[in-house]
Chain A
Amino acid sequence: MLGLNKKDTGLFIFVICVTALAPFIMNPFPADSAMAQFNAGYPDLMQRFVIFGIFAIGFNILFGLTGYLSFGHAAFLGAGSYAAVWMFKLLSYNIVPAIILSVIVAGLFSVIIGFISLRRSGIYFSILTLAFAQMSFAMAYSVLTPLTNGETGLQVYNDDPQWLKGDGPDATHFFGLEMRSTFELDLGAWSFSFNVGYYFCAVLMLVAFYLSMRIFRSPFGLMLRAIKTNQTRLNYTGLNSRPYTLAAFVISGMYAGLAGGLMASMDPLAGAERMQWTASGEVVLMTILGGAGTLLGPLLGAGFIKYFENIFSKINESVLHGWFGFLPDGIENGLIWVAEHFVGSGWHLTLGLLFMLIVIFLPGGLMEGATRIRDRFSGDKNKKDTEGKYAPAGE
């Protein structure tokens, strides 16, 4: 179907079903129960799942296929956000032009950065992209203040022109369909919310996912894999790999721009901190955690991190006391003392540890973990070891 083979079609249909039914899947616990804090089915979080999913899918096209580790992708996300907010300021709250422009701006931006950075490979490439991203961040904060509104961040004000607005709604909308409008469905003790913004992002995410599948299975994708495997050999066979890497870089930059545009469409704000290199690190982590070079991995990683970020940040000391209350006091306090480091504002510590553990023990990410477990149970010991699946280019 759609130019996909049987297995991929199955995967695609599976992803479609999961995203379509996400409001149900994410809210498995009744709204009033104690477990309700583990629900993730509210619009804001679900939007973040799919938006960061798009970001990670795009990053995976570059990193997973070519092995070029970019530490500056957040710059494209930020550029996309700024572009989208400018469209809101100038035209109207309709998100279609905003998203189109954000993809274009991020694409152009990534052509420039990619053209320069891709002259080097390996760690030089990482450092170059890092330097570019930090430069963009510094510029957004200071030099480009007329464009970015500096520290305050860019937002839409009442006296902005909004030429095409007319009597359109005062919130971001898709031809009149407001992004924030939500349909609440109460089924007994459960309540589910269906948000327009989420479904809009989800549709785009599915398109992005489909495109990435096609890229993975195309001759172009094969070429990118060849670059990752052995770029030197590729050069010796007389192929110039630069156009391919640049194309991959720009595609992933446009994905990041799309994610940035969607982020601004859900909440018409853009700030420089979206461009910071820790934000770039986050998407790297999502991709690695899920499994770089796999189709489903980045989506999985993005969902995993955003879900646990949300859950872990919410837990505080009193919640912990509630959990460990049944234990003797000494043990309880000890456990809480340990757990305190990792929850609430300590979520970043958990994230860092997770990052290290994944890189150390499971370089192939969750997808590799799943494969290993499946292999163990099916008793197939002759499967090829997939460790070290991704190697950086230019080694």
Chain B
Amino acid sequence: MDAILLQILNGLDKGSAYALIALGLTLIFGTLGVVNFAHGALFMIGAFCAVTLQKILTISSVSIDPEKKDFLGNPMEVKTPYVESWFGEATGQLIINWSVPLAILFAIPVMLAVGYIMERGLIKHFYKRPHADQILVTFGLAIVIQEIVKHYYGANPIPTPAPDALRGSFDFGVLLGFDPNAVIYPLWRLVYFAFSALVIGGVFAFLQFTTFGMVVRAGMADRETVGLLGINIDRRFTLTFGIAAAVAGLAGVMYTPINSPNYHMGMDFLVLSFVVVVVGGMGSLPGAVLAGFLLGILESFAAMNEVKSFFEAIYLPSIDQIIIYLVAIIVLLTRPRGLMGRRGVMEE
């Protein structure tokens, strides 16, 4: 029982990332009808927002301390981050320590701007073009973004640790009455899950309870009629693209302590997120979230030793590497619309 719980928890953090990216993909597809292959790149840009903020915060003034000597006997250079000299040492260190959560504030405007520019500058011109063109141009864009990031940040992963306060692990099992130490879980992953639940809830609430969201939903259902009612639907869709970009970016920001960001993390997540979208049902927001979590949890179950050895017995070793694809293929063949796909959306 506790092993099962642990696997569910393990699946949640990856599932959260899948769900957030898939949510953004679906939002874009549902509103603009564009298949965005650059969405993984947006996730990566988000992660590198965290890296950038960390770098900005640790910009230091260099002073020479004649008291101390380094190992060669020369006067040692002491680096003091400007933040520390401005806000005092304790506050400064606290700010640096909390750079990843702070990066959320930094990432939101950046991602909205990136999304806005992307939609106005490029995607806008592709609404009337075939899907193949959309796929190709966003694929090209993804390569470009990836290579630019690689050029400026290098090819190696950049460690961006979580704040000290959230770094430990948490004995989750005790809460539910298991033995102590049975279900221990890193605290940051719980934070990640809570955060993504918050973001997902926020997006749904925004779409459900605001006038803006209502118009967007109406536009997803029937764009033309909404336009005929005198509403500038294009502008709202542009903003929706920005929101989708921000959601992907936030997923990236908070993911950095789990996996150090590198330039190809976006591509790695993109393919799986597409699979998630397809399994959930193209154009269905709840479907994307559900499928994201489901596939994340499924993946972590497949990584369990018992499951692995069972599949090895029937000549399917390392099932965890391919389980998502297998499930996607089965779902697509038996239920082409996806788990929660609406009738008529991207069906033949």
Answer whether A and B are interacting partners.
Answer: yes
A residues near B, CB below 8 A?
Answer: 67, 69, 71, 116, 119-124, 126-128, 130-132, 134-135, 138-139, 141-143, 277-278, 281, 284, 288, 341, 346, 348-349, 351-356, 359-360, 363, 388, 390-392, 394-395
The residue on A at minimum CB distance from B348 is: A394
CB-defined contacts of B325 to chain A, threshold 8 Å: 131-132, 134-135, 138
CB-defined contacts of B318 to chain A, threshold 8 Å: 142-143
Which among B76-84, B195-203, B254-262, B270-278 touches the partner chain? Answer: B270-278
B318 to chain A, nearest CB (A): 4
Q: Determine whether the beta carbon of B348 is less than 8 Å from that of A121.
A: yes
Q: Determine whether the beta carbon of B275 is less than 8 Å from that of A131.
A: yes
Q: Determine whether the beta carbon of A355 is less than 8 Å from that of B332.
A: no
A141 to chain B, nearest CB (A): 7
Q: Determine whether the beta carbon of A130 is less than 8 Å from that of B274.
A: yes
Interface assignment of B171: CB less than 8 Å from any CB of chain A: no
CB-defined contacts of A120 to chain B, threshold 8 Å: 332, 336, 348
Interface of A is mostly: helix
Q: Determine whether the beta carbon of B322 is less than 8 Å from that of A281.
A: no
User: Beyond the given A131-B275, A141-B321, A391-B130, could you list 19 further A-B residue pairs with CB under 8 A, ordered by the A residue number?
Assistant: A120-B336, A121-B348, A128-B329, A131-B329, A135-B325, A142-B317, A143-B318, A143-B321, A346-B147, A349-B144, A352-B146, A356-B137, A359-B133, A359-B140, A363-B129, A363-B133, A388-B129, A388-B130, A392-B130
A79 to B321, CA, bound (A): 19
The residue on B at minimum CB distance from A128 is: B332
Whether A116 touches B329, Cβ cut-off 8 Å, given contacts A130-B274, A135-B322, A348-B143, is yes
The residue on B at minimum CB distance from A395 is: B130
Give 23 CB contacts A-B under 8 Å.
A116-B329, A120-B332, A122-B348, A123-B35, A124-B278, A124-B346, A130-B274, A131-B329, A132-B325, A134-B271, A135-B322, A281-B139, A346-B151, A348-B147, A349-B147, A351-B143, A352-B144, A352-B146, A354-B140, A355-B136, A356-B140, A390-B130, A390-B132
A345 to chain B, nearest CB (A): 8
Interface assignment of B333: CB less than 8 Å from any CB of chain A: yes
Interface assignment of B4: CB less than 8 Å from any CB of chain A: no
**Interfacial residues of chain B within 132-164, with CB under 8 A of chain A in the complex:** 132-133, 135-137, 139-144, 146-148, 151
Complex partner residue of B333 from A116, A141, A390, CB under 8 angstroms: A116
Q: Determine whether the beta carbon of B348 is less than 8 Å from that of A131.
A: no
CB-defined contacts of A277 to chain B, threshold 8 Å: 271
Q: Determine whether the beta carbon of B332 is less than 8 Å from that of A124.
A: yes
- Chain B interface size band reads 35 or more
CB-defined contacts of A67 to chain B, threshold 8 Å: 132
A135 to B274, CA, bound (A): 13
Greatest chain A CB density within 10 A among B136, B321, B333 is at B136
Q: Determine whether the beta carbon of B278 is less than 8 Å from that of A392.
A: no
CB-defined contacts of B267 to chain A, threshold 8 Å: 278
B residues near A, CB below 8 A?
Answer: 35, 122, 125, 129-133, 135-137, 139-144, 146-148, 151, 267, 271, 274-275, 278, 282, 316-318, 321-322, 325-326, 328-329, 332-333, 336, 346, 348
Complex partner residue of B275 from A71, A127, A353, A360, CB under 8 angstroms: A127
A142 to B271, CA, bound (A): 18
Greatest chain B CB density within 10 A among A288, A349, A353, A390 is at A349
The residue on A at minimum CB distance from B319 is: A143
Whether A139 touches B132, Cβ cut-off 8 Å, given contacts A120-B348, A360-B125, is no
Q: Determine whether the beta carbon of B143 is less than 8 Å from that of A352.
A: yes
A114 to chain B, nearest CB (A): 13
A353 to B332, CA, bound (A): 33
Whether A392 touches B132, Cβ cut-off 8 Å, given contacts A134-B325, A139-B321, A278-B267, is yes
CB-defined contacts of A359 to chain B, threshold 8 Å: 133, 136-137, 140
A348 to B142, CA, bound (A): 11
A87 to B328, CA, bound (A): 33
